[in-house]
């Protein structure tokens, strides 16, 4: 079968599914909890042990629903979803969508792990602590660094951990007030600029030169005694690997500046080059994405921090350590620590999945992952550049690592249709496409990242869809205008996502904003 | 929807015959003698072709003949004539047309022309109703114009189909044509008009919320104000981004002029070059500060709309005390291009070359090259 005959046609499910709270019926239960038996305490006795001020007077507002109705509700929702398991998910560039082996899901779902409590004594949690510790040991080889923390719950959270370490370091050196600037690059992940600002730093962004590399002259001009740290993503979101990266870290180190490497997406680097070789002092890795654990729809995930041993005193507490007498234990004894980044110790199921994935592949396997990801990407570039109306950012810089940012500028010029139109159309083909995040400097952008999970056939099929939509734009504009014709929503008004007065992420906040829950309107 | 449609039929005629513009009747006569042919209507027609279909249920208002009426009648759209211009159309006809359109209750004005036309339209409409500019003139320095006639057509279409979600303020700039013919560039900022924000595709994001231009301006202003030194003099240049500082200081500053602020109090308003020099000389050099923005879509920081900031003035201020601020969308539009300092003093222009941080948010800067 060729890719045209294989082309998927898809009709999205649509249920007028209410919010679970609206399905709530007083008295309904999914699970009937057994009553107290003879030697247990009564409710009153237990509540009697809690200080009066802490006992709530009203019941928690939880939905009440029977099991079948509950299962039906979530089944409907799952039918309205799309994910790696259901489509060729290479259109979400920079996110490294890859297959998460089901065996690892089973491991993470075992009762041994499910029933762990973060506050149980260390000597009863040796297995989990060992996995956390040994994941760090594996990252000694992967990153070339020495100390690790799996505490951050995501990539941007990893940036926050690095920025917190930077602040703790300069506080210890007595230069916290003076060193108040951070430098990043335009095509680093936007969190590398946004998060240090949250941490109170002034952030200066370096734009790329004509080749697509960060402009080193601009970097020299930005660097000063006020610089606390640099935050660089490499390869950048254009898919270009900054081959001059050591020149940047050398210049920074000459001014005493800490160097932070955003390795959230290390999918093209495993076994090929490391944080240590680029002379960075610390970095973070997303155990979701590169190391196969699912993203969890924006978390919980893990942005694993790695740092040189000199920075150990400033790491988030606790660190997982081992000594023959105590076994594995949590070390809180870091008086200069940046503190805690997250409650408890980390998102353990994600760590377990990543650990299992790395152990399954081994060192050669990891290198193969990156080699295949790079090969897939360069094959994909060739296919996409053959599509009418498509081009690549920084066209003179032809070699890319694991992803590439493209442009529909020509298509827009010729047909009036741009990246948002492609995005609408693609829903009818049962797949997904992302129009890229900031910086918004590449006209009509899109970013494709065919990680190692996808076969040549998958890539052919996805590119065939893009080619078909391009053809529609040129030859059948009416069809494009009305697309998606088999989906549930034609156009989403983004104003709701931008306006804090309008969006609600919980039922409570929805009631508050729309129904005057707290102050009846 | 009620739409005003206006073509300046002589816009663009001076260009091909190297007259640098067509403002004023004498120049127009010379242009015609040199063989110039009108092109504005054909550019407007290109634009109209894009939105014609979407416009069938709307009511247009236009002057007769070459100023818009002919195109509308040929396209079969519903229109009403608001003015019968004389054969030789002038800037008066443009202004008169716009005020008649406003009286008729138009909700938007589409016009084709150059910087001179934009100036005339702006002088009447200001920020009252949104406009869409079809570039048809010799000089297109004003940010109110779409990149190409087709893009302008697309904007009108989006507007008619209710797809325009927000509007932004764009500059109206014009060069002094007489000076320009003598190779002297003297541009002035004449005002702002509301144009559709066509960056709709940017709304499709992976995560987080991107600020609208307005809240970004507020962020920039808050940051600049927070970092103001006591007992220094701050010259604050023209532009809507810098105006936000004046607004947030609660002072009655000017949008188009250079104002002086000392200890957050307005001490000079719409100052001329000499006034500025006198004000600066009362302070030691390290206490003299200047806050400016990038004007228009071409990246000028000096020499466009702020000639009060003469080479003499600029030499009085240490380079490190010059703060450039701009919305990140403006910097994105300039991606790959340098900022331009055209002070009128080539030596000073040379000295100003290099890198300068441009503040684009609270604590957020982007290194820009002054080329």
| Torsion of the alpha carbons at A437, A442, A444 and A446, rounded to the nearest 10 | -50
The answer to whether A207 contacts chain B (CB < 8 Å) is yes
Domain covering B2-198 in this structure, CATH number = 3.40.50.10330
The answer to whether A222 contacts chain B (CB < 8 Å) is yes
Q: What is the DSSP letter of A288?
A: B
Interface of A with B in 68-107 (CB under 8 A): 92, 94-95
Question: Has the ipTM of the complex gone over 0.90?
Answer: no
Q: Are residues B185 and B31 in contact, defined by beta-carbon separation less than 8 angstroms?
A: no
DSSP-H helix ranges across A335-406: 348-385
CA distance B358 to chain A (A): 9
Rounded Cα distance between B5 and A367, Å, is 63
Measured between beta carbons, the chain B residues lying within 8 angstroms of A420 are 200-201, 204
- Segments making up each domain of chain B, as ranges: 2-198, 213-370
CA distance B214 to chain A (A): 13
CB-CB under 8 Å, A439 with B335? yes
CA of B163: which chain A residue's CA is closest?
A: A493
Rounded Cα distance between B81 and B92, Å, is 17
* The CATH fold of domain A116-359: 3.40.640
Q: Are residues B283 and B274 in contact, defined by beta-carbon separation less than 8 angstroms?
A: no
- Altogether, the residues listed in chain B come to a count of 371
Q: Are residues A421 and A390 in contact, defined by beta-carbon separation less than 8 angstroms?
A: no
Token match 């600002």: residue? Answer: A197
Alpha carbon B165 to chain centroid, angstroms: 21
Q: Are residues A393 and A407 in contact, defined by beta-carbon separation less than 8 angstroms?
A: yes
Measured between beta carbons, the chain A residues lying within 8 angstroms of B209 are 497-498, 500
Architecture of domain A367-494: Alpha-Beta Complex (3.90)
Closest CA to A182 of A172, A171, A169, A195: A195
Q: What is the DSSP letter of A214?
A: B
**Would you give per-residue pLDDT tens digits along chain A (521 residues)?**
788 888 888 888 889 999 999 999 999 999 988 877 777 888 888 888 889 888 888 888 899 999 999 999 999 999 988 888 889 999 999 999 999 999 999 999 999 899 999 999 999 999 999 999 999 999 999 999 999 999 999 999 999 999 999 999 999 999 999 999 999 999 999 999 999 999 999 999 999 998 889 999 999 999 999 999 999 999 999 999 999 999 999 999 999 999 999 999 999 999 999 999 999 999 999 999 999 999 887 778 999 999 999 999 999 999 999 999 999 999 999 999 999 999 999 999 999 999 999 999 999 999 999 999 999 999 999 999 999 999 999 988 878 999 999 999 999 989 989 998 999 999 999 999 988 888 888 989 999 999 999 999 999 999 999 999 999 999 999 999 999 998 888 776 666 776 777 788 888 888 888 876 545 44
H or E stretch covering A409: helix A409-415
The answer to whether A319 contacts chain B (CB < 8 Å) is no
CB-CB under 8 Å, B354 with A221? yes
Give me A82's structure tokens.
């799309």
Radius of gyration of chain A (CA): 25
Q: Are residues A154 and A304 in contact, defined by beta-carbon separation less than 8 angstroms?
A: no
Q: Are residues A419 and A444 in contact, defined by beta-carbon separation less than 8 angstroms?
A: yes
The answer to whether A204 contacts chain B (CB < 8 Å) is yes
Question: Closest to A439 (Cβ–Cβ): which among B208, B332, B361?
Answer: B332
Q: Are residues A275 and A283 in contact, defined by beta-carbon separation less than 8 angstroms?
A: yes
Buried b (16+ CB within 10 A) or exposed e, A374-413: bebbbebbebbeebebbbbbbeebeebbbbbbbbbbebbe
Maximum separation of any 2 CA atoms in chain A, in Å: 80
Rounded Cα distance between B149 and B172, Å, is 18
CA distance A149 to chain B (A): 25
Measured between beta carbons, the chain B residues lying within 8 angstroms of A95 are 206
CA distance A436 to chain B (A): 6
CA distance A92 to chain B (A): 9
Rounded Cα distance between B323 and B337, Å, is 19
Closest CA to B82 of B103, B105, B100: B100
H or E stretch covering A250: helix A245-254
Spell out the residues 6+ positions from residue B67 whose beta carbon is closer than 8 angstroms to its own. B6, B7, B8, B9, B83, B85, B89, B93, B97
Spell out the residues 6+ positions from residue B53 whose beta carbon is closer than 8 angstroms to its own. none
Q: Are residues B368 and B358 in contact, defined by beta-carbon separation less than 8 angstroms?
A: yes
Rounded Cα distance between A373 and A271, Å, is 13
Rounded Cα distance between B96 and B89, Å, is 11
Q: Are residues B7 and B71 in contact, defined by beta-carbon separation less than 8 angstroms?
A: yes
CB-CB under 8 Å, A203 with B329? no
Measured between beta carbons, the chain A residues lying within 8 angstroms of B210 are 438, 498
CB-CB under 8 Å, B366 with A186? yes
Q: What is the pLDDT of residue B240?
A: 84
CB-CB under 8 Å, A441 with B336? yes
The answer to whether B204 contacts chain A (CB < 8 Å) is yes
Measured between beta carbons, the chain A residues lying within 8 angstroms of B363 are 197, 201-203
CA distance B301 to chain A (A): 18
- Residue A318 preceded by cis peptide, ω within 30: yes
The answer to whether A415 contacts chain B (CB < 8 Å) is no
CB-CB under 8 Å, B154 with A207? no
Measured between beta carbons, the chain A residues lying within 8 angstroms of B364 are 193, 197, 202-203, 205
Q: Are residues B66 and B89 in contact, defined by beta-carbon separation less than 8 angstroms?
A: yes
The answer to whether B47 contacts chain A (CB < 8 Å) is no
Rounded Cα distance between A260 and A193, Å, is 12
Q: What is the pLDDT of residue B358?
A: 97
**Would you give per-residue pLDDT tens digits along chain B (371 residues)?**
999 999 999 888 766 666 666 677 777 777 777 777 788 999 999 999 999 999 999 999 999 999 999 999 999 999 999 999 888 888 999 999 999 999 999 999 999 999 899 999 999 999 999 999 998 887 778 888 887 888 899 899 989 988 887 788 888 888 776 666 665 666 778 899 999 876 543 333 322 334 467 788 899 999 999 999 999 999 999 888 899 999 999 999 988 889 999 999 999 999 999 999 999 999 999 999 999 999 766 788 987 777 789 999 999 999 999 999 998 888 888 888 899 898 888 899 999 999 999 999 999 999 999 98
Beta strands B259-262; B233-236: pairing state: antiparallel
Buried b (16+ CB within 10 A) or exposed e, A249-263: bebbeeeebbbbbbb
Question: Within 10 Å of residue B316's Cβ, how many Cβ atoms?
Answer: 18
Spell out the residues 6+ positions from residue A284 whose beta carbon is closer than 8 angstroms to its own. A152, A155, A158, A159, A161, A162, A262, A263, A264, A303, A304, A305, A306
Question: Closest to A440 (Cβ–Cβ): which among B202, B363, B364?
Answer: B202
CA distance B202 to chain A (A): 7
Rounded Cα distance between B340 and B331, Å, is 13
Question: Closest to A435 (Cβ–Cβ): which among B50, B165, B201?
Answer: B201
The answer to whether A48 contacts chain B (CB < 8 Å) is no
CB-CB under 8 Å, A440 with B329? yes
Question: Closest to B165 (Cβ–Cβ): which among A205, A217, A495?
Answer: A495
Spell out the residues 6+ positions from residue A442 whose beta carbon is closer than 8 angstroms to its own. A393, A405, A406, A407, A436
pLDDT digit string, tens, across residues A363-396: 999 999 999 999 999 999 999 999 999 999 998 8
Rounded Cα distance between A270 and A363, Å, is 9
DSSP-H helix ranges across A109-176: 111-114, 126-143, 155-172
Q: Are residues A130 and A326 in contact, defined by beta-carbon separation less than 8 angstroms?
A: no
Rounded Cα distance between A94 and A442, Å, is 15
φ and ψ at A196, to 5 degrees?
Answer: -60, -30
Give me B110's structure tokens.
């589409």
CB-CB under 8 Å, A215 with B369? yes
Beta strands A202-206; B364-370: pairing state: parallel
**Which of B52, B204, B333 to mutate to probe the A interface, most A CBs <10 Å?**
B204
Question: Within 10 Å of residue A33's Cβ, how many Cβ atoms?
Answer: 6
Maximum separation of any 2 CA atoms in chain B, in Å: 67
Number of Cβ pairs < 8 A linking chain A and chain B? 90
| Burial class of residue A61, CB neighbours in 10 A (0-12, 13-18, 19+) | exposed
pLDDT digit string, tens, across residues B169-205: 888 888 776 666 665 666 778 899 999 876 543 333 3
| Burial class of residue B347, CB neighbours in 10 A (0-12, 13-18, 19+) | exposed
CB-CB under 8 Å, A439 with B367? no
- Segments making up each domain of chain A, as ranges: 18-79, 116-359, 367-494, 495-521
Alpha carbon B95 to chain centroid, angstroms: 18
Rounded Cα distance between A92 and A290, Å, is 14
Interface of A with B in 463-502 (CB under 8 A): 494-495, 497-498, 500
Rounded Cα distance between A516 and B131, Å, is 39
Beta bridge partner(s), residue B357: B367
Q: What is the pLDDT of residue B16?
A: 60
Closest CA to A192 of A224, A156, A227, A221: A156
Q: What is the pLDDT of residue B182?
A: 65
Q: What is the pLDDT of residue B29?
A: 78
The answer to whether A441 contacts chain B (CB < 8 Å) is yes
């Amino acid at each position: 079968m060729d890719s045209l005959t294989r082309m998927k046609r898809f009709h999205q499910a649509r249920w007028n599914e209410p919010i679970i709270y609206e399905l709530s019926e007083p008295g309904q239960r999914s699970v009937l909890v057994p009553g107290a038996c003879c030697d247990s305490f009564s409710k009153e006795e237990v509540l009697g042990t809690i200080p009066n001020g802490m006992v709530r007077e009203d019941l928690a507002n939880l939905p009440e629903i029977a099991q079948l109705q509950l299962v039906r509700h979530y089944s409907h929702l799952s039918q309205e979803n799309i994910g790696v398991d259901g489509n060729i998910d290479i259109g979400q560039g920079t996110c490294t969508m890859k297959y998460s082996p089901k065996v690892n899901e089973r491991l993470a779902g075992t009762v041994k792990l499910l029933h762990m409590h973060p506050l149980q004594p260390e000597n009863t949690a040796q297995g989990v602590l060992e996995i956390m510790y040994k994941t760090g040991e594996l990252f000694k080889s992967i990153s070339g660094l020495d100390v690790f923390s799996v505490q951050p719950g995501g990539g941007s959270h990893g940036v926050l951990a690095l920025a917190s370490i930077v602040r703790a370091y300069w506080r210890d050196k007595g230069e916290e007030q003076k060193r108040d600037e951070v430098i990043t690059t335009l095509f680093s992940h936007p969190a590398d600029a946004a998060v240090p600002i949250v941490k109170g730093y002034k952030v200066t962004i370096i734009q790329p030169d004509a080749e697509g590399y960060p402009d080193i002259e601009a970097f020299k001009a930005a660097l000063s005694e006020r610089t606390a740290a640099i935050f660089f993503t490499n390869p950048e979101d254009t898919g270009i690997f900054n081959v001059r990266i050591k020149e940047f870290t050398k210049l920074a180190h000459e001014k005493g500046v800490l160097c932070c490497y955003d390795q959230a997406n290390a999918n093209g680097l495993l076994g090929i080059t490391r944080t240590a070789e680029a002379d960075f002092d610390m970095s973070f890795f997303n155990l979701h994405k590169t190391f196969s654990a699912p993203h969890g729809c924006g978390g919980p995930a893990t942005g694993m921090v790695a740092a040189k041993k000199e920075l150990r005193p400033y790491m988030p507490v606790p660190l997982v350590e081992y000594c023959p007498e105590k076994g594995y234990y949590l070390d809180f004894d870091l008086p200069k620590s940046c503190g805690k980044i997250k409650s408890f110790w980390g998102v353990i199921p994600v760590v377990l999945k990543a650990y299992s994935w790395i152990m399954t592949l081994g060192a050669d396997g990891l290198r193969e992952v990156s080699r295949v990801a790079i090969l897939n990407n360069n094959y994909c570039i060739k296919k996409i550049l053959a599509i009418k109306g498509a081009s690549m950012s920084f066209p003179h810089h032809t070699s890319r690592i694991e992803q590439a940012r493209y442009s529909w500028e020509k298509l827009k010029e010729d047909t009036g249709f741009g990246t948002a139109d492609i995005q609408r159309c693609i829903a009818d083909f049962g797949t997904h496409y992302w129009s890229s995040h900031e910086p918004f400097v590449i006209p009509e952008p899109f970013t494709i990242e065919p990680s190692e999970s996808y076969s040549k056939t998958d890539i052919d099929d996805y590119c065939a869809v893009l080619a078909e939509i391009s053809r529609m734009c040129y030859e059948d504009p009416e069809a494009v205008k009305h697309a998606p014709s088999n989906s549930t929503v034609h156009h989403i008004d983004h104003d709701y996502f931008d306006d804090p007065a309008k969006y609600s992420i919980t039922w409570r906040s929805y009631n508050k904003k729309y129904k005057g829950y707290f102050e009846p309107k | 929807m009620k739409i005003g449609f206006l073509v300046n039929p002589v816009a663009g005629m001076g260009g091909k015959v190297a007259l640098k513009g067509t403002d004023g009747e004498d120049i127009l006569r010379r242009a015609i003698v040199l063989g110039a042919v009108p092109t504005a209507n054909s550019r407007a027609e290109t634009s109209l072709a894009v939105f014609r279909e979407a416009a069938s249920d709307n009511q247009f208002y236009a002057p007769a003949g070459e100023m818009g009426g002919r195109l509308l009648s040929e396209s079969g759209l519903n229109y009403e004539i608001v003015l019968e211009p004389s054969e030789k159309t002038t800037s008066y006809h443009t202004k008169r047309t716009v005020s008649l359109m406003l009286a008729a209750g138009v909700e938007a004005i589409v016009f084709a022309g150059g910087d001179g036309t934009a100036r005339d339209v702006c002088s009447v409409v200001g920020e009252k109703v949104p406009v869409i500019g079809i570039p048809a003139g010799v000089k297109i320095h004003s940010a109110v114009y779409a990149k190409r006639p087709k893009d302008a057509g697309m904007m009108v279409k989006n507007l008619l189909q209710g797809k325009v979600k927000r509007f932004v303020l764009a500059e109206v700039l014009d060069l002094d044509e007489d000076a320009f013919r003598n190779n002297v560039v003297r541009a002035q900022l004449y005002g702002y008009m509301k144009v559709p924000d066509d960056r709709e595709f940017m709304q499709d994001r992976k995560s987080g919320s991107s600020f609208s231009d307005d809240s970004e301006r507020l962020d920039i202003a808050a940051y600049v104000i927070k970092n103001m030194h006591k007992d220094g003099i701050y010259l604050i240049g023209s532009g809507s981004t810098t105006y936000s500082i004046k607004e947030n200081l609660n002072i009655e500053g000017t949008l188009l002029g250079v104002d002086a602020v000392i200890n957050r109090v307005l001490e000079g308003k719409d100052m001329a070059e000499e006034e500025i020099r006198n004000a600066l000389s009362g302070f030691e050099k390290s206490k003299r500060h200047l806050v400016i923005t990038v004007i228009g879509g071409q990246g000028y920081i000096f020499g466009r709309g702020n000639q009060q900031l003469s080479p003499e003035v600029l030499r009085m201020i240490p380079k490190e005390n010059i703060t450039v601020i701009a919305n990140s969308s403006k910097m994105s539009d300039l991606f790959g291009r340098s900022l331009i300092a055209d002070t009128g003093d080539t030596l000073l222009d040379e000295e100003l070359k290099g890198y300068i941080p441009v503040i684009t948010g609270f604590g957020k800067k982007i290194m820009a090259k002054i080329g």
